[in-house]
Structure 1
């Protein structure tokens, strides 16, 4: 099979190295992201008026970035840059693309910052009141992050297309460090959610107690982190051989084809975000409908649940998919169907091995993991966020498969073909969130939306892969299915044993943060070893791709120890 990549073949070496480099940066970033979340909980809590207001406002630039920059660049930039460098016009093309991107991002950022009140109204269903006013104040500081997120994505995707994967994945580490420091300053100056803070006895969880100075310090800390994340990529461009010069002469640049792909990609992303608008408004209304702001999952609880959900996805799925994407773009350009099938099969199998285990571990440890993330928050918030985590993480394996299928569509620059799938997924998310609101108690509305998300990922993965089968003539379906079945069998055994160990530890240990940490370490280790042992017994060859980099690092460390 020409160009196909086996789990242990030569083609897997470069992918393993690229994925390992990205995964290491992502791992550090995600650990710091959890620490950032803990510090933010200490500052404003995990539920309540201020937490939900900041969650909506700080989510706005992320959502806008996903619509206007992130997804478009995934769909357009890497395939276009790979093609441009192959025809010898890569640098001029990159110069024009970056210049156009910077100009468009700057204009949109100014426009959307001025429209911050309208954006908050879209995502938060409050006509007036201190909570909405606080969200607007936060948004005025946070929406400018859009420009710097866009710069980060533009520069990072150019680096990826040049085969330089590390800087893009390590840059968020700087973001988290800056934000953690800023949130720490906020707590030192104004106090945190648990104290009197800025208000007379009400604490910082009450929206009416916030002043312009408290808003500025907290929101500026978040925004400065994004600025730093973009800035640290600039030196990496030169090391990758990219010498950027602003170019505004776009005639004959070849960007017309890219514009067509952007249009369809933009449509798909807007459809997805319309579904998120429904989820955001349902989450915004939940605390008021429940009659209490504490211990009821709202927008902030959704964000913390999504943070835990994305941790395993980012460690392996994003890293591997990004490393494979450049290869897929080149294979699609060469019209090498067997190679594309092989790369897709490899990605689905390796991602599946990890996401099935990750889903099982998080499901068993949902409460202890949430307790650690909310270590500085109120105990009553833990069940609310843990329920959201559980609802989301059941869809993690399907989310991994959906992400890999997306990369194939983007490699062929076929954003139009993805649109029907994205519409169906958005209908499931929005419809599921509204159904949950109608039949569930308000305390479970956000968890209901999480279940709808999981169902949408299953639907998206299945439909996208069936449609890809027509394009690629066939898929390596039997092999992919066999690997997933083996993974599920091993994960079920590991989950059963892990749950038994967890119950034993809960009976022996006191209800402390240290005990929860010990539970996560012991149960996670036991489940991981049982899972790997089961896969070894079933002779699952894809373990080499998943564990190869870690095994090589361990061997080098052992060799150094022997030499000493």
Structure 2
């Protein structure tokens, strides 16, 4: 399910768990990662976290250093984010964890509608232009914009918190018990204020980005994660002897601790950015002058992005409501779905976003000059590279879904059965990894062509198919497979998004050389199939036979199965002459030779 983005401490990969922001690229172009997070930490925004459009930043040298800081920060943030999510599952278990995760989706959904969609596509480019054009470097305009945005966010957050019972009632399923519904509402009271601090954090990050400072927005979410991890540690220590948690047995003190700790994490993240503002010379002064902001122009520019965001949030609403139907019934539900989404986005973030960050400046420059053949060549190259790099990860997820889930998530109140159910969902997600990144590559190609409207229009039928698939699969699958079915629906929608996007791009920029792409994909698929077959064979001979009973068995399966899959894939890909794999292997050999 989209975007996404992420949440750090919750349901989303994305909230603020780990906003992956990239440093200034060529020609001063700033690319904000499509992985940007949303409230809560590591939440999984149903995919398609709105891919930010490029803006221009001031910033000269130091790109290499910034890139290194960002890469390290991204890796550390993702690792800590997984620790956070694993501890949340251990502390709360699947039933209470589903309620917590449902409440965590809400700040992300509402924030995206209020600000998230237009921040990167409209406000950042606007701040960039004013910084260049205004005699004071855009200082006064930025102060006015922040004043208006913070005041608006504050009022909206208060209203949303007051309306929490209504919002959670709409999201809840008729099959949920009253205790479960009340638990979601109680979590929502504590977690919904995250909307304000998420917006504040994002606005400060935008100001810093425009002024060429990228490290603080990258590292601040780590503070969020650390706070939530500490909260979970206190929870496990204080309530470890209370037995298995359920919506009926969870106490007000437990709700207050975990919900309050989640909110505190976001507060700390926002506060952690304030010193960086002083460092770049920006002084935040209250200036109330909405008329000077050109709100009508901002609204017109934001229209198509809001259309994009709104469609995605409808899909998020639907999937959470469907999964709430099985929450608390011993089946993989919202928490498992979110954990798997985080793993999917991790693969996309490490490989897909890296490729997109490298290609977008080149494609944008070529598109601006009308050199569409170069745009086509870069897109083709990107699809081949992403496919070759992500294929073994997809195989690992498909073959080793159960041991991965047991190793990462089992413990405390998160039982072995719950972890194995999560593994089933992860196995299905293997078929979503490649289509997700390819569809995003196409989206970035449209951004290079200034095609925001086209992206929004393509997204409408894609979301319609996704929602239709949600309802269809929910109707035909058993409750135990609901989360896996929702993941499969996402995968189908990514495929359709990629197909439609490639067809429209072909009309827009001409021949895409899809024949060579198809040949490369077939070779990659054959290599992946060989690796998967050998991986399944090896795992079936190990203790646990693919369904480990504890972390020791899971680790053995991961090491043995992972090694076989990687070696088999590399060997098959080299034998089939998959050029992208050969290039990477050659580069490694040259470096080792030196």
**Is this contact kept in 1: 2:84–2:228, CA < 8 A?**
yes
1-structure distance, mates of 2:355, 2:280: 20
The equivalent of 2:102 in structure 1 is 56
Matches of 1:546 and 1:170, distance apart in 2: 29
Paired residues of 2:220 and 2:273 also in contact (CA < 8 A)? yes
Q: Secondary structure at the match of 2:138?
A: helix
Alpha-carbon spacing, 1:489–1:97, altered in 2? closer, same or farther (3 Å): farther
Look up the match of 1:520: 558
- CA distance 1:214–1:387, change in 2 (3 Å): same
Any idea what SS the aligned residue of 1:296 has? coil
Aligned match of 1:315: 350
Q: Does 1:264 align with 2:304?
A: yes
Distance 1:255 1:225 in 2: 32
* Aligned counterpart in structure 2 of residue 132 of structure 1, from 172, 181, 192: 181
The aligned counterpart of 1:10 is none
Q: Is the 8 A contact 1:75 1:411 kept in 2?
A: no
Shift of 1:185: 0.8
Of 393, 396, 420 in structure 2, the residue corresponding to residue 361 of structure 1 is 396
Q: In structure 2, how many angstroms separate the alpha carbons of the residues matched to 1:550 and 1:157?
A: 37
Find the partner of 1:91 among 138, 158, 169.
138
Distance of aligned partners of 1:247 and 1:352 in 2 relative to their CA distance in 1, 3 Å threshold: farther
SS in 1 for 2:484: helix
Which stretch of structure 1 is more off in the superposition, 384-393 or 443-452?
A: 384-393
Identify if the C-alpha distance between structure 1 residues 14 and 312 changes in structure 2 by more than 3 Å, giving closer, same or farther: farther
What is the aligned partner in structure 2 of residue 403 from structure 1?
Answer: 440
Match of 2:236 in 1: 187
Q: Which residue matches 1:278?
A: 318
* TM-score of the aligned structures, taking structure 2 as reference length: 0.78
Given the superposition, is the C-alpha separation of residues 313 and 458 from structure 1 closer, same or farther in structure 2, using an over 3 Å criterion? same
Moved more, 366-375 or 15-24: 15-24
Q: How far apart, in 2, do the equivalents of 1:444 and 1:466 lie?
A: 33
Alpha-carbon distance between aligned partners in 1 of 2:479 and 2:545, rounded to the nearest angstrom: 34
Give the TM-score taking structure 1 as reference length.
0.82
Shift in Å, 1:51: 2.0
1:209 equivalent in alignment to 2:279: no
Q: What SS does the corresponding residue of 1:207 show, helix, strand or coil?
A: coil
Q: 1:340 to 1:527 in 2, by over 3 A?
A: same
1:79–1:413 contact (8 Å) kept in structure 2:
no
Distance 2:509 2:424 in 1: 39
Q: C-alpha distance in 1, partners of 2:578/2:516? A: 11
The answer to whether the 8 Å contact 1:364/1:495 transfers is yes
> What is the alpha-carbon root mean square deviation over aligned residues?
3.6
Structure 2 CA distance, aligned partners of 1:494 and 1:329? 37
CA distance in 1, matches of 2:587, 2:288: 43
Alignment match of 1:110 (pick from 158, 177, 190):
158
**Cα distance, 1:445–1:237 mapped onto 2, change above 3 Å:** same
With over 3 angstroms needed to count, the CA separation of the structure-2 counterparts of 1:460 and 1:23, relative to structure 1, is: farther
Bigger mean CA deviation after superposition, 24-33 or 338-347: 338-347
CA distance in 1: counterparts of 2:495 and 2:72, whole angstroms:
28
Q: Which range moves more in the overlay, 259-268 or 81-90? A: 81-90
CA contact (8 A) 1:433 1:445 kept: no
| Contact residue 389 and residue 581 of structure 2 kept, 8 A | no
The alpha-carbon deviation at position 507 of structure 1 amounts to: 6.7
Map of 1:387 onto structure 2: 424
Report the equivalent of 1:502.
Answer: 539
CA distance in 2 between partners of 1:241 and 1:455 (Å): 48
1:244 and 1:334 map into 2 onto residues whose CA distance is: 39
Distance 1:397 1:69, change over 3 A: farther
Deviations 1:358-411 (Å, cap 9, x if unpaired)? Answer: 211111111101111222021221332122222233111111112222234445
Aligned to 2:201: 152
Quote the residue 1:200 is aligned against. Answer: none
Aligned mates of 2:368, 2:270 — CA distance in 1 = 30
Cα 1:475/1:508, change in 2 over 3 Å? closer
More deviation, 66-75/438-447? 66-75
Pairing partner for 2:269 from 225, 229, 236: 229
Q: Which has the higher contact order (CA 8 A, sep 6+)?
A: 1
Question: Alignment partner for residue 31 of structure 1, among 76, 79, 87?
Answer: 79
Unpaired stretches in structure 2, ≥5 consecutive residues: 1-26, 28-60
Q: Does 2:541 align with 1:493? A: no
Bigger share in helix: 1
Q: Distance in 2 between matches of 1:94 and 1:514?
A: 54
Asked if the contact 1:341/1:472 (under 8 Å) is kept, the reply is yes
> Structure 1, unaligned stretches of length 5 or more?
4-12, 198-202, 288-292, 560-564
Q: What's the offset of the Cα at 1:173? A: 2.1
Spell out, residue by residue over 1:69-109, the C-alpha distance to the aligned partner (whole angstroms, 9 max, x if none): 33333333454455555657763465554444333322222
Shift of 1:459: 0.6
SS at match of 2:419: helix
Q: CA deviation at 1:472?
A: 3.0
Residue 486 of structure 1: how far off its partner (Å): 3.8
Using the alignment, how far apart are the partners of 1:413 and 1:250 within structure 2? Answer: 28
In structure 2, how many angstroms separate the alpha carbons of the residues matched to 1:514 and 1:489?
Answer: 32
Taking structure 1 as reference, are residues 394 and 364 closer, same or farther at Cα in structure 2, changes over 3 Å only? same
Contact 1:141 1:220 in 2 (8 A): yes
Give the corresponding residue for 2:472. Answer: 435
Deviation of 1:141 (Å): 0.5
